[in-house]
């Protein structure tokens, strides 16, 4: 702004009512001027004649050569002109002027905008609450709740422990009561002996506590001392029944031993020594060296004894029955004679006889002879798998 413009503004008389758009009583125009400049009187009319950029709100006088920046701000339509000057003159709408502290060139103006305050939230009463403080309060409340939960769990565990102790005591007292006293004994798996005989052999008696003192080991020990009992098991059947299950040995063959007969199972265990000839397969050609009830019979030829027991097991598996088996010629020609009847015999090598038993062919041959009512003769088994029959022995 040049001197002519300043004089023009000074000579203009202020109008009585210059406020047109803003309700404020006083409109202030602030302009920065060089040192030594006279006081200036500017009315609102002069301000309105200035050029205002609608896009940026910047205000420029017609001659803006002396001004570096002009801004309109606020409802009082204040004009700020900034130059490299040391002081500022303030002119109001009435023409009065006031000198204001100047701004040095190049001095940065403090940012009047307040720093952004942290976002606040409303509590239940509608008041603003600092989020950080609220987060700390939430943590404190959560810790209190966790302490309460831990205390509750400890109380629950304590009372559960107390209840468990009383339950154990009650259960023990009930278990030793007469409710579990053995008043009946049941026997299973017995064939040779009756249930009463098994109970007597086991020395089993009622009156014991079924849970704590059924006498299981004693019963098993007594039973397994009997050669005919291979194994025994004792179980409980609530509330008051003792169950004895036995696995008996079965008589399979017998040897002649002096004037006695040695009765064995198919594993060679000596079951009984008797003077009465048993009605089971008699084995001939064995020389006995050792006998003891409940143990394997000892012979001078253990291989021959083992093969004889295999033959007895194969005979039972094939559903055949030999009244006697003669192994006396086995050591010389491996021949075996198996008597179906006293006058009906099967003859052949040991391996051939085993093969005919295992494949079932001997059983079919014997059935055919029985159908033809043939009960006398010799069935000859060949090494090549063939068989023939001779009427005579």
Domain boundaries, the chain: 3-101, 179-248, 253-390
Tally the C-alpha atoms within 13 A of residue 333's C-alpha that lie toward its C-beta.
Answer: 9
Q: What is the CATH code for 253-390?
A: 3.40.50
Largest CA distance in the chain: 172
Rounded distance between C-alpha atoms, residue 36 and residue 109, angstroms: 24
Cβ atoms of 82 and 58 closer than 8 Å: no
**298 pairs with which residues across the strands?**
290
Rounded distance between C-alpha atoms, residue 70 and residue 326, angstroms: 141
H/E run at residue 138 = helix 131-175
331: left (phi over 0), alpha (psi -120 to 50) or beta: alpha
Contacts of 211 (CB under 8 A, 6+ apart): 175, 176, 180, 236
Task: Work out the burial of residue 104: count CB atoms within 10 Å of its CB; fewer than 13 is exposed, 13-18 middle, 19 or more buried.
Answer: exposed
Decide: helix, strand or coil at residue 183. coil
Which CATH topology does 179-248 take?
Answer: Ubiquitin-like (UB roll) (3.10.20)
179-248 and 253-390, same CATH topology: no
**254 pairs with which residues across the strands?**
263, 282
From 307, 311, 274, 276, select the one nearest 291 (Cα to Cα).
Answer: 274
Rounded distance between C-alpha atoms, residue 242 and residue 216, angstroms: 9
Cβ atoms of 281 and 274 closer than 8 Å: no
From 328, 319, 334, select the one nearest 381 (Cα to Cα).
Answer: 334
From 285, 356, 279, 343, select the one nearest 315 (Cα to Cα).
Answer: 356
The one-digit pLDDT tens for each residue of the chain (393 residues) are 444 554 444 455 444 444 444 344 344 444 444 444 344 444 444 444 454 555 555 555 544 444 444 444 333 444 444 444 444 445 554 555 555 554 444 444 544 444 454 555 555 556 666 788 888 888 898 999 999 999 999 999 999 998 898 888 877 766 666 656 788 889 999 999 999 999 999 988 887 777 666 788 899 999 999 999 999 999 988 888 899 999 999 999 999 999 999 999 999 999 999 999 999 999 999 999 999 999 999 999 999 999 999 999 999 999 999 999 999 888 788 899 999 999 999 999 999 999 999 999 999 999 999 999 998 999 999 999 999 999 876
Could you tell me the two tokens for 203? 């020395």
């Amino acid at each position: 702004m040049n001197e002519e413009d300043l004089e023009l503004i000074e000579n203009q008389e202020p109008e009585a009512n210059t406020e047109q758009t803003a309700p404020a009583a006083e409109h202030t125009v602030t302009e920065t001027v060089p040192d030594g400049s006279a006081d200036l009187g500017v009315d609102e009319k002069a301000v309105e004649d200035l050029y205002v950029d609608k896009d940026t709100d910047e205000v420029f006088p017609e001659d803006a050569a002396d001004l570096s920046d002009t801004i309109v701000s606020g409802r009082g339509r204040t004009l700020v002109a900034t130059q490299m000057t040391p002081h500022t003159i303030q002119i109001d709408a009435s023409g009065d002027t006031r000198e204001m502290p100047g701004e040095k060139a190049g001095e940065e103006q403090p940012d009047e905008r307040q720093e952004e305050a942290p976002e606040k939230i409303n509590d239940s009463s509608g008041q603003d609450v600092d989020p950080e403080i609220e987060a700390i309060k939430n943590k404190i409340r959560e810790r209190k709740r966790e302490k309460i939960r831990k205390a509750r769990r400890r109380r629950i565990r304590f009372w559960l422990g107390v209840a468990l102790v009383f339950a154990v005591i009650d259960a023990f007292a009930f278990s030793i009561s007469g409710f579990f006293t053995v008043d009946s004994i049941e026997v299973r798996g017995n064939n040779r002996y009756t249930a009463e005989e098994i109970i007597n052999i086991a020395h089993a008696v009622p009156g014991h506590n079924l849970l704590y003192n059924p006498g299981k080991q004693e019963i098993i020990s007594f039973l397994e001392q009997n050669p005919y009992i291979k194994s025994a098991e004792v179980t409980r059947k609530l509330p008051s029944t003792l169950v004895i299950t036995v696995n008996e040995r079965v008589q399979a063959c017998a040897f002649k031993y002096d004037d006695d007969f040695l009765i064995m199972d198919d594993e060679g265990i000596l079951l009984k020594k008797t003077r009465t000839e048993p009605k089971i397969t008699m084995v001939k050609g064995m020389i006995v060296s050792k006998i003891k009830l409940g143990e394997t019979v000892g012979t001078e030829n253990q291989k021959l004894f083992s093969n004889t027991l295999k033959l007895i097991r194969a005979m039972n598996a094939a559903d055949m029955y030999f009244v006697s088996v003669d192994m006396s010629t086995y050591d010389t020609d491996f021949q075996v004679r198996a008597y179906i009847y006293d006058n009906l015999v099967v003859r052949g090598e040991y391996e051939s006889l085993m093969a005919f038993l295992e494949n079932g062919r001997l059983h079919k041959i014997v059935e055919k002879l029985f159908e033809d009512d043939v009960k006398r003769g010799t069935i000859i088994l060949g090494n090549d798998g063939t068989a023939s029959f001779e009427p005579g022995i």
